């Protein structure tokens, strides 16, 4: 038995590799503000993702928030409540009104068949999330956006390394926003990026991440400071070299989980999506208490008792957050509500040993048994 297992663990290059990468910073003393590492990392990403345009930011949240700001939007934005706080906050912090769309019960992404009924004359954009690395219904979302002249800003925080029909997810929508946080499949410690097609949008975004400065004596935007620094860019350069190997290792971990849990009644696992090359970023399991014999919370507690840190991503729904008290009705997104009360993401990272996966699954499965015994005791 090994020690405590957390829900994830940051991927890191060899210490020497990173030191070598940052060595020249001690010669140049150039630490931030779009330096040489920033430029190199940007070029590396362009070629890895096969995109024309990409900008780097301090984190995934600023990628989203500033992308929305750079589009000069007003009114309502259709989005999902089954996500991390960042998605909804980026909309609200831009003075826009989120309108919550329910999710698909199989892949947890926005249910595209419900979008049109939410469109009003105030709707300006759609902000879908590729949750857990599952790709949204890209074609249908784009069809609706084209029909109603709406912008599409993807929260692609979970999909770095994912391909749809052979192309990176970065290529879809008006903007696609990645997170390179320490907990992601690919990290730059903290970091984010936006891929886009429109050059004017790109220029706006570039200025907004640098206080809205247009030139030495002109500031014509109310921007923020969201520039990626050289140490983070250097981490990105190193980690990108090992990304494919990391994804391969994650795949083995996921396959081991599936070998234990795939055929268990009452458990719903993440789908294997058609036309998608996955990045194996999360391992969500939805617990049907009656059929499986234990609830999500019972499994969560049992894992915690055994030193295993699973997480309730994404509970609570963002439309139930205290900061929005009374503003939204979570019953308008019943599938999201149902899923958020039953889902648990199990530990997943490249170096998680297969023996640890066995141990985690053992605890999960035994929880059901214990609970059934308890119910049997109660009946007796």
Give the 3-state secondary structure of residue 209: coil
Any contact of residue 6 with ligand T4K (CB under 6 A)? yes
Letter string b/e over residues 21-45, b meaning 16 or more CB atoms within 10 A of that residue's CB: bbeebeeeeeebebbebbebbbeeb
Q: Please list every residue from 73 through 92 that binds ligand T4K, using CB under 6 A.
A: 83-84, 86-87
Smallest distance from the beta carbon of 373 to ligand T4K, in angstroms?
A: 31
Output the six-digit token pair for 345: 């993401």
Stretch that binds ligand T4K, among 3-11, 23-31, 73-81, 328-336 (CB under 6 A): 3-11
One symbol per residue from 145 to 174: x for binding ligand T4K (CB under 6 A), - otherwise; what is it? ----------x-xx----------------
- The distance of closest approach from Cβ of residue 130 to ligand T4K in the complex, given in angstroms and rounded to an integer, is 8
Task: Rule CB under 6 A: say whether 176 interacts with ligand T4K.
Answer: no
282, 275 in Cβ contact below 8 A? no
Identity of the residue, 58 or 371, whose beta carbon is nearer to ligand T4K in the bound complex: 58
Question: What residues between 358 and 377 interact with ligand T4K by CB under 6 A?
Answer: none
By the rule CB under 6 A, 129 interacts with ligand T4K: yes
Strands 192-196 and 343-346: unpaired
Q: How far apart are CA 100 and CA 361, in angstroms?
A: 34
234, 197, 152, 92: CA torsion to nearest 10? 50
Q: Which is nearer to ligand T4K, 38 or 181 (CB)?
A: 181
Q: Write out the binding residues for ligand T4K, residues 231-270 only, by CB under 6 A.
A: none
Cα(241)–Cα(221) distance, rounded to whole angstroms?
36
Residue 121 burial (CB < 10 Å; 0-12/13-18/19+)?
Answer: exposed
Q: Rule CB under 6 A: which of 268-297 touch ligand T4K? A: none
Q: Which residues contact ligand T4K by CB under 6 A?
A: 6-10, 59-61, 83-84, 86-87, 129, 155, 157-158, 179, 181-183, 192, 309, 311, 313
């Amino acid at each position: 038995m090994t020690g405590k297992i957390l829900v994830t663990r940051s991927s890191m290059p060899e210490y020497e590799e990173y030191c070598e990468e940052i060595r020249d910073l001690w010669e140049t003393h150039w630490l931030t503000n779009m330096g040489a590492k920033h430029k190199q990392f940007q070029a590396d990403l362009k070629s890895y993702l096969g995109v024309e345009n990409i900008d780097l930011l301090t984190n995934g949240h600023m990628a989203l928030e500033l992308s929305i700001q750079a589009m000069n939007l007003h009114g309502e934005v259709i989005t999902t409540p089954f996500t991390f706080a960042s998605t909804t906050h980026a909309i609200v912090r831009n003075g826009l009104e989120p309108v919550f769309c329910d999710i698909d019960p199989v892949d947890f992404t926005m249910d595209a068949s419900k979008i049109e009924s939410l469109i009003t004359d105030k709707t300006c954009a759609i902000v879908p999330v590729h949750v857990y690395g599952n790709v949204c219904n890209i074609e249908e979302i784009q069809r609706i956006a084209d029909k109603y002249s709406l912008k599409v800003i993807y929260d692609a925080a979970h999909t770095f390394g994912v391909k749809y029909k052979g192309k990176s997810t970065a290529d879809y929508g008006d903007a696609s926003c990645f997170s390179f946080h320490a907990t992601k499949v690919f990290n730059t410690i903290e970091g984010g990026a936006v891929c886009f097609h429109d050059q004017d949008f790109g220029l706006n975004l570039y200025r907004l991440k640098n206080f809205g400065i247009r030139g030495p004596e002109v500031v014509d935007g109310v921007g923020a400071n969201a520039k990626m620094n050289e140490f983070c860019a250097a981490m990105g350069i190193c980690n990108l070299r090992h990304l494919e190997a990391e994804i391969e290792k994650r795949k083995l971990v996921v396959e081991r989980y599936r070998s234990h849990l795939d055929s268990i009644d009452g458990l719903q696992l993440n789908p294997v999506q058609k036309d998608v090359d996955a990045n194996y970023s999360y391992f969500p399991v939805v617990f049907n208490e009656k059929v499986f014999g234990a609830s999500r919370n019972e499994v969560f507690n049992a894992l915690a008792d055994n030193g295993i840190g699973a997480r309730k991503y994404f509970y609570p729904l963002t439309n139930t957050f205290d900061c929005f008290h009374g503003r939204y009705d979570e019953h308008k997104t019943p599938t999201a509500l149902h899923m958020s009360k039953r889902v648990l993401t199990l530990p997943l990272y490249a170096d998680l040993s297969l023996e640890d996966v066995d141990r985690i699954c053992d605890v999960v499965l035994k929880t059901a048994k214990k609970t059934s015994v308890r119910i049997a005791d109660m009946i007796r």
